[in-house]
Amino acid sequence: MSVWRRVLGWVRRADESPADARSEPERAETQATAEQPSDDDAERLLEKIGSTPGLAVSDEALSAACDSLVRRGREARAIDLLRRAHATRADWSQGAWVLARMLLARGDDQEADSLLGWVERDRELGHEALLARAEIAERAGEDALALARYERVLATDLGNARARSRAERLRRSALEPRGVGATLLAGDGALARGRYRIVRELGRGGAGTVFAAEDVQTTRTVALKIYHSVRSRPERERLLAEARVAASLEHPGVVRILDLDETLGSIAMELLARGSVKSVLAEQSSPERLFGLARSFAEALAFVHAAGVVHRDLKPSNLLLRDDGRVVVTDFGVARRAGEVPPEAEGTLAYMAPEQREAKPVSPRADVFSMGRILLELSDSMRLPDASIARMREVALRMSRPVADDRPASALEVVSLLQRC
């Protein structure tokens, strides 16, 4: 019997005694073995959890099952099975916590917040769930709610540095002038001199908020990104990297930078109003459209790699769309030159290559991994099987292999592989 099948056996009904479970030596052997479960084994465990309400499951078995599906590009399937399991096990805080973290990694804040509201009542997981909910509220612009949640975290964990720094920033922000354009009143840059008039908010992320704004000199509408803060050196470096790296890459698949105001921490970019690849994942797109997205994405990234740049934060929300459907890469805030050694792991965990999580020297293969994960999500968005999409999925699986040397060396090689699909 395989090691993973013993892990599958490491579940028991709530009314069974520990003696009915596997022996300690068997547990030690399972923990010490690096063998990975197959897709079928991982799915079978998650299905069993959902169909057997009285079944108890270890953290190790649950994490291994989810990690197995995620590693093989089947994150959407893992989320679906966890949703079904949670629907039949309303008291299952462990599963709700795992599901919420997977949703957060995909940017699904609303559903994650609903799950975390329930997990918050759990004695062991409640503290982390509350911190995550505070960050969700902050991203949504609900500063008062976010501050209240951070203060609740600090009430039981005064030494929590993340909650303390975020709460202090929100308190300072509450004392600053409010209203459209208020953030542009100070400083001496072009933005502060009144060149741009904010029209509406387009989106909000961890680093900053993006507005549609009118350039009063040209009457052109632009995308204006205002960083939440540029007080610290890392925040300032990210601002400069996002503007200068993209500005040095002139290609239809790279967002055009129009203006930079270092004093206010703001960047003016071309406005791409068609949305992002993230919106495509929720649609029933044709195979032709998905292939068009994949190829234009690969061509843009190949240009970036040929210039010696590695993006390092590729994800669906960072891939915008032109009117003709071509992909445009944006947000170069953590981009670095190939071969550099970063001070820490940077990027979005759900799309981050294993070597990037370990802060190893920067390589285009890390971007290839992220791109592979995105292409797998696009192929999973197809409701019906299609032979061409199956071939694209094979390429994406090759791109998202855990060992860097087993992947294509750069996006240029990916372009060639997709042309043969």
The CATH code for residues 3-174 is: 1.25.40.10
- Average pLDDT, stretch 147-160? 83
| pLDDT score for 406 | 96
> Is residue 184 pLDDT above 60, yes or no?
no
Q: Is 313 a catalytic residue?
A: yes
* Catalytic residue chosen out of the listed positions 313, 331, 367, 380: 313
Quick check: 388 pLDDT over 90? no
Written as one letter, the residue type at 119 is V
DSSP string, 364-397: HHHHHHHHHHHHHHHHHT-SS--HHHHHHHHHHH
Domain 192-270 sits in which CATH superfamily? Answer: Phosphorylase Kinase; domain 1 (3.30.200.20)
Residue 70 pLDDT exceeds 60? yes
pLDDT of 14 higher than 70: no
Distance between CA atoms of 44 and 345, rounded to whole angstroms? 33
User: Where is average pLDDT lowest: 33-37, 123-127, 247-251?
Assistant: 33-37
Cα gap 154→127, rounded to integer Å: 10
Residue ranges, CATH 1.10.510.10, the chain: 277-419
d(CA 298, CA 191): 34
Higher pLDDT, 310 or 97: 310
Residues of the chain with CATH 3.30.200.20: 192-270
Domain spanning 277-419: CATH superfamily: Transferase(Phosphotransferase) domain 1 (1.10.510.10)
C-beta separation of 78 from 46 below 8 A: yes
Query: 127-136, 160-169, 327-336: lowest mean pLDDT where?
Result: 160-169
Residue ranges of the chain that CATH labels 1.25.40.10: 3-174
Residue 69's SS3 state is: helix
DSSP output for 309-361: EE-----GGGEEE-TTS-EEE---TT-EETT---SS--S-GGG--HHHHTTPP
User: Letter for the amino acid at 316?
Assistant: P
Question: Is it the case that residue 183 has pLDDT exceeding 60?
Answer: no
